[in-house]
Amino acid sequence: MANINPFDIVKQQIDNCAGILNLDHDVTMMLKTPMRELHVSLPVRMEDGSVKVFQGFRVQYNDARGITKGGIRFHPDETIDTVRALAAWMTWKCSLLDLPLGGAKGGVICNPKEMSIGELERLSRAYVRSVFQFIGPEKDVPAPDVYTTPQIMAWMMDEYSVIAGKPQFGVITGKPLTIGGSPGRGDATARGGMYAIREAAQALGIDLSKATIAVHGYGNAGYHAARLCHEIFGAKTVAVCDSKGGVCCKTGIDPEAAFACKSKTSSVCNLPSMERISKEELLALDVDILIPAAIENVITDKNAPDIKAKIVAELANGPTTPEADDILFRKGVHVIPDFLCNAGGVTVSYFEMVQNFYMYSWEEAEVRERLDKKMTTAYHSVLETSRAHQINMRQAAYVLAVERVVEAMKLRGWV
C-alpha cells in the first residue's frame, strides 16, 4: 500500500469526474495542476547543540473560490505528492461545503515523537519564517493536521505576528480558545462525520442505537468518533486499532478507556480483556459502520472484497483507492467520501476565521448548529446527485465540488 501515490489517485479521480461533466482538456489539466507550491529548508537547533535541516512544503492548489485553507502535517513519511493530494482534496472539500475558500496543505518531514518541546517550537517558528510571504489572513490560512496541535498553531501564529509587527490571530485556525480559537473545533472533524453518518443511516434504514462500529485509527478523529457514536447515537464500538495493531470486543469497547490506554501505553493494543486483532482484520469485521480514521490507501482492491460494513465513513483523507471504490459500489457498500465525511474540521476552521475577522466569539451550541446544517445540506446534495446519475458517492461529491470550482474559474476568465 505504501507505493500508491496519492496524487496519482487525485488525477485519476479528476479524469473520472471530467468524463462525467464533459470538461474540456485544458480545464481538466488546470484542475490536475497545483497553482503554486513552495519547498523550504528549515535549519533547527537541536537539544544536543547540532543543527538539523528539515524539509517543508506548502501547496496552494486552487484559489478560484477564495483564499486558500488547509492544515500542516508533521510526519516522518511526508512527501510533496501527499501534500499535493491533500491540497487538492481540500479544494474539493471547501467547494462541496460551499465555503468561500480554496484548498491548500503544508507539511514538514520530521518525527515529532522523537523531538523535544523546544525542538518542536523552533521547527514551527522556522516553518512560518520560511513561508511568511505566502500565507496570511487574506492569502492562505493554515491549520493543524497529523501530529500538529493547538500549541503548535499558537507558536506559528505568534511567529507570524512577530514578523508582521502586530497581532495576527486570523493567520492560523485550530488555535487555543484564549487566543482566538473557536468553541467546538476540538472534535469538529468527528462531529461533522457523525452528522453525515446520521443522515446516511436514515437513508439506508439503519437503527444507529443498535449499530456496531469499527474504528481504524485511534488518533484525535478516531477517538472522538467512537466517543460521539456512543454519546449521540448509543452505538457500540466493537473494534479499534492504531499503528501497532488492534483489539476487538463484541460487548463493546469504552472509548474513554481506549483513549486512556493509548495515552498511557502508546497503543490501544494494551487494553485488558480484549481479543487482539490486526489492522487488516479490523477492516473485514462484520459491523454496521467502518470508520477509517488514520491514513491514505488502507482500503484497496486487495481487501475491498472483504469489507462487510454497510457504511464506510471516511474520516481519514484518501483511505480508499479508486479500484476499491468500484468494488464497494458494486457490493452495495455506502461510502461517505472523505472530503464530505471529514469536512467538519475545515468548516469549523472557516467559522473560526469568520469569528477572528469580526472579533466576536460564538457559543459552542451555535457552532454545532451551523456545522450540522452545512454537513446535512452537503450530504443530501451528494446523495441526490449519486442517485440521479447512478454514480457512487465519491463521484457525486466530485461532480458537485469540481463543477463549482470550474464555474468560478470561468467567471474569473481563467478558462
- At 211, give phi and psi (nearest 5°): -80, 150
Distance, in Å, from the CA atom of 236 to the CA atom of 227, rounded to the nearest integer, reads 10
Q: Would you say 112 and 120 are in contact if contact means Cβ atoms under 8 Å apart?
A: yes
Which residues have a catalytic role annotated?
Answer: 105
- Dihedral over Cα of 99, 396, 338, 14: its sign: negative
> Could you tell me which of 224, 226, 159 has the C-alpha nearest to residue 185?
224
Amino acid, res. 241: C
- Classified as helix, coil or strand, 335 is strand
Pairing of strands 275-277, 289-292: unpaired
In 54-147, where does DSSP find H-type helix? 80-96, 117-131
Distance, in Å, from the CA atom of 51 to the CA atom of 252, rounded to the nearest integer, reads 48
Cβ neighbours of residue 410 closer than 8 Å, sequence gap 6 or more: none
Burial class (CB in 10 A: 0-12, 13-18, 19+), 25: exposed
- At 31, give phi and psi (nearest 5°): -70, -25
Q: What is the H or E stretch that residue 334 is in?
A: strand 334-336
Q: Would you say 229 and 213 are in contact if contact means Cβ atoms under 8 Å apart?
A: yes
Cell representation of residue 157: 501564529
Radius of gyration (C-alpha) of the chain in whole angstroms: 20
CA 83 to chain centre: 12
In angstroms, the Cα distances linking 264 to 42, 261, 270, 271 are 32, 5, 10, 11
